[in-house]
Amino acid sequence: MSKSRVIFVILLLILGGLVAGLFLLPFAGKETSYSVVQQEGVLRTANGWVVQFDIVNSEDQDKNYTVNLLVDDRPSAITALVRAGGIFTYIRSIDRSQVTGGKVSLSVYKDNLPVREATYYLQGKE
C-alpha cells in the first residue's frame, strides 16, 4: 500500500469518527434528572424537636413520594405529589412527651423506590 493511500484511509477513519460523533452528540448531552432530599435537619425546640427537609423533583414528570416517620416505633406516613421541577417541604413537630427511647427513623420513597433513609437519636425527657 502506498503512503498516500494509508493517509487517505486514516483521514476517512477520522472523518467517520467525527460524523458518528455528530449523530451521537444529542444523546450525550442529555442529563439524567434525579429526585433528592436536601436541607435535611432536626431542630431542637423548647417543647421537643422539628424534622424538616425538602424533596426536590428534578425530573420532567410529576412524582408521588411517601414519607414514613417512626418515633420510638410509632409510625406516621404521608404521601405527596410533587410536580415536575417542584419542591415539597416536609415539617413534622415531635413533642418531647412523644419521645421515650429517642429513636426516630425517616424513609422517603418515590414511586415505592427508596430515595433517602436516616435514623436520628434524640435525647428524651430531661
**Domain ranges for the chain:** 1-30, 35-121
Res 29 pLDDT > 70: no
Query: What is the DSSP-derived secondary structure letter of residue 61?
Result: S
* Vertex 10 angle, CA 9 and 13, to 5°: 85
Query: What is the DSSP-derived secondary structure letter of residue 83?
Result: -
| 59-97 confidence digits (pLDDT tens) | 888 989 999 998 887 888 999 999 988 988 988 888 888
What is the rounded CA–CA span in Å between residue 48 and residue 124? 9
* Cβ neighbours around 57 below 10 Å, total: 23
- State which fold the 35-121 domain adopts: Immunoglobulin-like (2.60.40)
- In which band, very low, low, confident or very high, does the pLDDT at 99 lie, cut at 50, 70 and 90? confident
